[in-house]
Amino acid sequence: MRYTATGRARVLKATAPATVLTMLIVAGAVLPAGPGPRAAEVTVAVAANFLATLQQLEPEFEQRSGHELRLAAGSTGSLYAQIANGAPYDVFLAADEARPARAVEEGHAVRGSAFVYAVGTLVLWSADPDGPAGPEALDGEFHHLAIANPRTAPYGAAAQEVLTAMGRWEPLQDRIARTQSVAGAWSAVASGAADLGFVALSSVLTNDAGKGRYWEPPQALYTPLRQTAVLLNRGADNPGATALLEFLLSDDARAVIRDAGYRTP
Amino acid sequence: MLSPSDWDAARTTLLLAATTVFVLILVATPLAWRLAFARGRWARVAEAVVALPLVLPPTVMGFYLLVLLGPAGPIGSWWVKLTGDTLSFSFAGLVIASCLHSLPFAVQPLQNAFESVGRRRLEAAASLRAGPLDAFFSVALPLALRGYVTAAVLTFAHTLGEFGVMLMVGGNIPGRTRVLSISIFEHVETLDYAAAHRLAAALLIFSFVVLLSVYLANGRYRTRVA
Amino acid sequence: MRLSLDLHAHRGRFELRVAEELELEGITSLFGPSGAGKSTLLQALAGFLPGTGRIEADGVVWQDGRRFLPAHRRPVGVVFQDGRLFEHLDVAGNLDFAARRADPRGPSVRRSEVVAALGLAGLLERRVDTLSGGEAQRVAIGRALLARPRLLLMDEPLVALDRERKATILAMIAELPRRFGLPVLFVSHLVEEIAQIADRLVALRDGRTAGQGPTVAMLERLGADVTGHFEAGSLLEGHVTRHDEEYSLTGVDVGAGILWTPGAMHTGVGERVRVRLRARDVAVSLRRLEGVSIRNQLPASIAEIREEPGAYAEVRLDCGGAMVRARITRLAVRELGLEPGLAAYALVKTVAFDRRLEV
């Protein structure tokens, strides 16, 4: 029979690892880390379509500035709802202009800090390289078309605008599957669950699996996807946050952004 | 009070819950029966598999279901050949998903009920010339009724509330796969809290009324037998 | 019913091996100590144990290496130790359950007969969980009968009942073969039950049969090692000659003489009865005694004396054909000069008779 320590001895044994752990955490938080003036951590709420591109820019930024990025991705609407409820983000990289403007109006963001960091392109994509690529794809035999939820994702709203302009919105209603974000629309098509999808051009270009065919609907059919960045109140005193925003305007960054399939203003 | 799309979602949700209960009770009965009277390791393995949906994150289930039920997947492609329609993003696919998701909620109460019916009573039935099917309907089923009520109620309520799996497998198609939980979530995401409150409150009251009336009826049944 | 058995069953470490031909008529008891395999044998006969060997009944194979007739197709009824009535039905419902599925080829059994024989008339509307033990067992017997089996198996049906209930129900069971035309196989480990109603006895011990034959002879043969020392005794058959109303005694003629037993006033004169004597209640004397309270003194001749380690010896006395055992001290054997062939008397205190055996 194995005896376990009793009484005081047992209490000490149990609390020992907890005590050590606490001390380590406190030390880690207090002790300085990284080179340069106190390196900051920037929490970024980034629209789903831009996540991959931001991840590409991340190492460059961190090396240059010494600050660290923490990324939270989602549909623009979803992220905005969180921000409106006090989510701890420093910077908001949206896929539209409207929501950052609302953020400023409702007092969550710093006035005057908003700017367009990229202009997105909506494409109709099919993962099948032999499939129809132009607008006629919408007339073909397909099971499902994936779009991001128009109510929460700007790309989804754009898709709805295009379909409405083409007179296809109503007729295709029960074949249109809505995903949480435009990245979700892309994976629905990539995984084969949907035959077609309205996705961000950047998804098609930056993913190896994107070997299908795509069609760019005329820009006139939808509200331009002027993806706007804004500094949130929480990040106002964060040097890393301002550094990030400046970085996005730098030439190096803009080059990367253009390569990813966006236009820069 | 509720928008037309919300009413649609409510209708879809109720239909989904009712269909799931119907299908799942039929599927869970033989499964629970085997588990109740089986001995040995394989039965325990089967029990663990049945209990998986209890612990799996809905996103894991949703993901694998999408892979299986999508037009490229093993089950999905067979369905396309059979019906010409996909299983993913369809009501049928949603039924399958919610059946799998609520499987332990149906199987476990039934298994417990059958276990308490016990081998002895079934031996007595056999000694009175009742074959296996006869014994099931004339002895086991009446004695297991409470288990059936529990299984049905739990499955119904659980389906009403399921979100993650429904979203991934269903595709949020209005009138087809758009369920109440997704509507509520969308209202929250678009900061339309008033609508979210209305829907959420309606769902809460409805679920409570269902549960209450079932347990009241069950209680009356209980005292009659006692 | 003629049963041909060649069974081999395993229950954990217990092994049942029975190769026997049984001719079942009237009440046959399956007798043996706890753990002897009686219930296992019964379960095999009922059809609950596949893969256990060969059973053939009246030329029909119920199971062998290749085939297995499941329980619900065998013309066998079972009364279980724990009754096992269906709680979701009332008593009448339980009886109907059986009647609806009755075997059309089985002996005809009228529901009114069953209700009368088992005294179920007042119970029909009752819910099953309100019945007492005795009531529930009677319903269980009635239910089993209504399925019209050709053989009724009873697995220690009285084990949970108190003495008085046992006596009543035992009497009902004794009637079953005659009234409903089917043999009964009655399992018990209690000698009193067996002795009272069984015509034949099949002995079971450690998973194997230890002989079969008429009850009286078997009990006589089996001796203390099966019945247990305390209960060792003799079974005598006789008929009632007269009743003494004033002193509440009944005289039973057992051939060698008349045994006076208390009570039993309701038995008819001339009726055949059995009387069981416990060996420890029988004394031996060399001549008839006067001035002693012992009423019953049977002339006998000593058949055998078996001395045991310790103080006791068992003396078997031949009382005009019926064997009576007496348990006395070895010292008494020596002092009285007892030896086989000697004429003596078997003395039995009237009080010693088992009141339970009034039939």
- Tell me how far CA of residue B152 lies from CA of B104, B160, B177, B181, B210, in angstroms: 12, 12, 22, 20, 11
Cα dihedral value B142, B144, B150, B155, nearest 10 = -90
Q: Are residues C349 and C246 in the same domain?
A: yes
- C-beta separation of A79 from A228 below 8 A: no
CATH number of the domain enclosing C100: 3.40.50.300
Number of A/B CB contacts below 8 angstroms equals 69
> What pLDDT score does B136 carry?
95
> What pLDDT score does B168 carry?
87
Q: Are residues C214 and C237 in the same domain?
A: no
The full set of domains in chain B, from first to last, is: 4-180 (1.10.3720.10)
> What pLDDT score does A31 carry?
56
> What pLDDT score does A121 carry?
94
Per-chain mean pLDDT for chain B:
89
Q: How confident is the model at residue B222 (pLDDT cuts 50, 70, 90)?
A: low
- CA–CA separation, A184 vs A156, rounded Å? 11
Q: Is C346 on the interface with B (CB under 8 A)?
A: no
Long-range (24+ apart) CB contacts under 8 A made by B67-72 are: B67/A191, B69/B93, B69/B96, B69/B97, B69/B169, B70/A191, B70/A192, B70/A193, B71/A143, B71/A192, B71/A193, B71/A195, B72/A191, B72/A192, B72/A193
Q: Where are the domains of chain A?
A: 41-119+224-259, 120-221
**What one-letter code names the amino acid at C167?**
A
> What pLDDT score does A98 carry?
94
Q: How confident is the model at residue A25 (pLDDT cuts 50, 70, 90)?
A: low
Which among A23, A42, A18, A14 has a CA at the least distance from the CA of A246? Answer: A42
CB-based burial of residue B66 (10 Å sphere; 0-12 exposed, 13-18 middle, 19+ buried)?
Answer: buried
Q: How confident is the model at residue A77 (pLDDT cuts 50, 70, 90)?
A: very high
CB-based burial of residue A124 (10 Å sphere; 0-12 exposed, 13-18 middle, 19+ buried)?
Answer: buried
Q: How confident is the model at residue A21 (pLDDT cuts 50, 70, 90)?
A: low
Answer yes or no: is pLDDT of B74 > 70. Answer: yes
DSSP code at position C27: E
> What pLDDT score does A34 carry?
47
Q: Are residues C241 and C192 in the same domain?
A: no
CB-nearest partner of A84 from B171, B186, B191: B191
Chain C residues whose CB is inside 8 A of the B126 CB are 47-48, 70-72
B193-225 and B180-189 helices, crossing angle to 10°: 150
Q: Do A and C have ≥3 inter-chain CB pairs under 8 A? A: no
* Comparison of pLDDT for B181 and A30, the residue scoring more: B181
Q: Are residues C202 and C343 in the same domain?
A: no
> What pLDDT score does C354 carry?
44
Chain C residues whose CB is inside 8 A of the B226 CB are 129
Angle at A209 between CA A257 and CA B182, to 5 degrees: 85
The two beta strands, C76-79 and C151-155, are: parallel
- C-beta separation of B86 from B135 below 8 A: no
Q: What CATH fold (topology level) applies to the domain A120-221?
A: D-Maltodextrin-Binding Protein; domain 2 (3.40.190)
- CA–CA separation, A165 vs A144, rounded Å? 19
Domain boundary among C224, C247, C278: C224
Domain boundary among C224, C252, C272: C224
B41-55 and B91-127 helices, crossing angle to 10°: 140
Looking at residues A120-147, what average pLDDT do you find?
86
Q: How confident is the model at residue B174 (pLDDT cuts 50, 70, 90)?
A: confident
- CA–CA separation, C285 vs C302, rounded Å? 11
Domain that holds residue C153: 2-224
**What one-letter code names the amino acid at B188?**
V
Q: Do B89 and A75 touch (CB under 8 A)?
A: no
CA–centroid distance for B18 within its chain: 9
Q: Do B175 and A173 touch (CB under 8 A)?
A: yes
- Tell me how far CA of residue C342 lies from CA of A260, B105, C301, C317, in angstroms: 124, 82, 6, 10
Looking at residues B194-223, what average pLDDT do you find?
81
Q: Are residues C19 and C77 in the same domain?
A: yes
> What pLDDT score does A5 carry?
47
Q: Is A209 on the interface with B (CB under 8 A)?
A: no
- CA–CA separation, A196 vs A176, rounded Å? 9
> What pLDDT score does A110 carry?
93
| Model pLDDT for residues A156-190, shown as the tens digit of each residue | 999 999 999 999 999 998 899 999 999 999 988 88
Answer yes or no: is pLDDT of A1 > 50. Answer: no
- C-beta separation of B5 from B174 below 8 A: yes
Measured in degrees and rounded to the nearest 5, phi and psi for residue A261 equal 110, 10
- State both tokens at C302: 């000593």
Per-chain mean pLDDT for chain A:
86
Q: B71 to chain A: nearest residue by CA?
A: A193
- CA–CA separation, C281 vs B54, rounded Å? 70
> DSSP 3-state assignment of C230?
coil
Residues in chain B: 226
Structurally, chain C folds into a number of domains equal to 2
Q: Is C71 on the interface with B (CB under 8 A)?
A: yes
pTM (global) more than 0.80: no
Q: Are residues C303 and C220 in the same domain?
A: no
Q: Is A191 on the interface with B (CB under 8 A)?
A: yes
Tell me the β-bridge partners of C8: C17
Which residues between 129 and 168 in chain B have a beta carbon less than 8 angstroms from any beta carbon of chain A?
167
| Model pLDDT for residues A208-251, shown as the tens digit of each residue | 655 788 899 999 999 999 999 999 999 999 999 999 999 999 99
Task: Tell me how close the Cα of B87 comes to any Cα of chain A, in angstroms.
Answer: 9
- State both tokens at B193: 């809290």
- State both tokens at B148: 């059936």
Answer yes or no: is pLDDT of A28 > 70. Answer: no
- C-beta separation of C61 from C230 below 8 A: no
Right CATH for A41-119+224-259 from 3.40.50.300, 3.30.230.10, 1.10.260.40, 3.40.190.10: 3.40.190.10
- CA–CA separation, C137 vs C151, rounded Å? 18
Q: Is C199 on the interface with B (CB under 8 A)?
A: no
> What pLDDT score does A138 carry?
87
CB-nearest partner of A144 from B73, B86, B175: B86
Whether A41-119+224-259 and A120-221 share one fold: the answer is yes
Count CA within 13 A, CB hemisphere, residue A20: 5
Answer yes or no: is pLDDT of A36 > 70. Answer: no
**Other residues' Cβ atoms within 10 Å of the Cβ of residue A105:** 10
- CA–CA separation, C358 vs C265, rounded Å? 9
Answer yes or no: is pLDDT of B159 > 60. Answer: yes
Chain B residues whose CB is inside 8 A of the A179 CB are 171-172
Beta carbons within 8 Å of B174's beta carbon, 6+ residues apart: A173, A174, B5, B8, B9
Task: Tell me how close the Cα of B11 comes to any Cα of chain A, in angstroms.
Answer: 16
Q: B118 to chain C: nearest residue by CA?
A: C84
Q: Do A and B have ≥3 inter-chain CB pairs under 8 A? A: yes
Q: Which residue stretches of A136-207 are H helix?
A: 154-165, 182-190, 201-206
- pLDDT per residue as tens, chain C (359 positions): 999 999 998 888 888 999 999 999 999 999 888 888 888 999 999 999 988 899 999 989 999 988 999 999 999 999 999 989 999 999 999 999 999 999 888 888 889 989 998 889 999 999 999 998 889 999 999 999 999 999 999 999 988 888 777 878 888 898 899 888 899 999 988 887 888 888 899 988 888 888 888 887 787 776 656 555 545 677 787 888 888 888 888 888 888 888 888 776 777 788 777 777 878 888 999 999 988 888 889 999 999 998 888 888 889 999 888 888 888 999 999 999 999 999 999 998 765 444 444 33
Q: Is A78 on the interface with B (CB under 8 A)?
A: yes
Q: Are residues C307 and C192 in the same domain?
A: no
Answer yes or no: is pLDDT of B219 > 60. Answer: yes
Q: Are residues C177 and C98 in the same domain?
A: yes
Q: Is B85 on the interface with A (CB under 8 A)?
A: yes
Q: Do C86 and B123 touch (CB under 8 A)?
A: no
Domain boundary among C224, C248, C270: C224
